[in-house]
A and B are shown apart, each in its own frame.
Chain A
């Protein structure tokens, strides 16, 4: 019989009227890396808080190595059993790395001796191969270093079970690979891990087993080898098929269509050099590249967020000087970070989605509520936004639906040029399909689109993909490329 390191057995958890977990469970074998996948709202986060002892299940039980879990109040006992690298950082930026590592256990009852504490921290970092100065302020670390510090801290508590909750969401390709190498090394030492991610290819790369949750219930647990990609997506969505398939055939034939978005010899120090680009009506142009390739900086220049050192951007032959001029010329865009630039969380869907076209909803600065509402209802329908209605604040929506609102805003004015940056970051499979579908529809209506994405699957809808490396476009591939082709160029190993 398999020895299970962690078991959650028939767990039910309700929050008021909503059931977050319904008789669901997971069993993770000793020493394996076990993936937990499911759409937003499937109950993954609730399971994490129950497995880490932050919440008590209404029914069911948690067992570690066959023994009942500690009492909820005994935080130290929980920390010896399980550690979690949360989506949201639990590092305190104003304190040093050393203090973060030993937070609330800097000393016993007596005074803290800082010298030995720093020494212990340095030893700990060295043992886990984390090249970070223990005296540095945690706020000065990169996302990757911060995660490594969190992992080292988790292990230093003595926990042999770590939960990694979407650790790759904010990392670029090489950093993800380094994280995976580290996870493999930990596994070799016998550490058990639960891995949560929206990127299914990562699940196949790093995990041995996978558990799928859907609508608060356990759907299936299987070795990854026995659950091919399509079956996995089907288990997540409850329907067959799943990987987004482009609806359009070949793109418009050559240069006959009108150029809607053009860049001429753009350069911006430290980001990109000598970029020229023409996007035709009805065409989707993809941009691929690593985090340091400059693709985001370029896209942000196209929409007027940055001013290039040299060169010009034109939308429908109108030069772009800043964001208002770009929008005025008929451009719509989805920014990289929806939380920071995408929406105002406390305002309603209607208000957010029509923010860029407020001037069209009434004269003399008056926004007519009825027209705003009508427009929002149409956009909600078009993008299949799951909501109570246009009055609901965007803050209440799940990640995928919030992103659809951002997409709705980009599309509100029927733009003839569209720039979309990482539209599917942190959203589930179905939302992904709706978002990519919206880009395709816009192109069918005659818009020219630029799609910048870290996910290769997103780029399959593009008529051609430009690969950037160290600030230059190094390769252009037409529809029908293989992953290998693109990745090689992105990593700069392609001649």
Chain B
């Protein structure tokens, strides 16, 4: 048994190192003694028949339509895998493309794949900064956001509650969206490396579907200490003072 992790469209959707979340899943699986491979998919023909997780990162607005058109050719597979409970992590514009769509400031809009509820809408100015999200399933997540749009329609199923940052905006106090194991978030870059509990929760879902167990490997302990220090330093540097998470 080998975990197959799909890194979707890293050619256009990897501005911030979001695609490396696939590497994080693969590496942690291997540390746990589970064979794993990352498959880069730029076209529908490259999709493996059996997969265990999908990572779709953020790109520039110029590539939104091009990426959407490619994703449309994989629509049926993505929807089926999402329904079957396979973890799909969409970050930034990658998440927006999985949603109902993207509304632009000039009134035009781009239809998404409709796999996640809600849509991206214009916001006043870009937001760049640190985010802390309390999530019921993955613990407290720390990350960095950089986006020029808000997100509406996730109110019934947000990824979590904001403790710092702007997240979905429009005074929702929420960040991200989650449907089963399909997740959209503004937390860009290697969010799974920075938040190993999030990565391990996804790996447990992957393992369960395969009828095997998952426990973090020995090497993960040392590396997770770096992640803990990085989270602490980030919170310290940005002056976010939080009570211990509940």
Say whether A and B bind each other: no
- Interface residues, chain B, CB within 8 Å of chain A? none
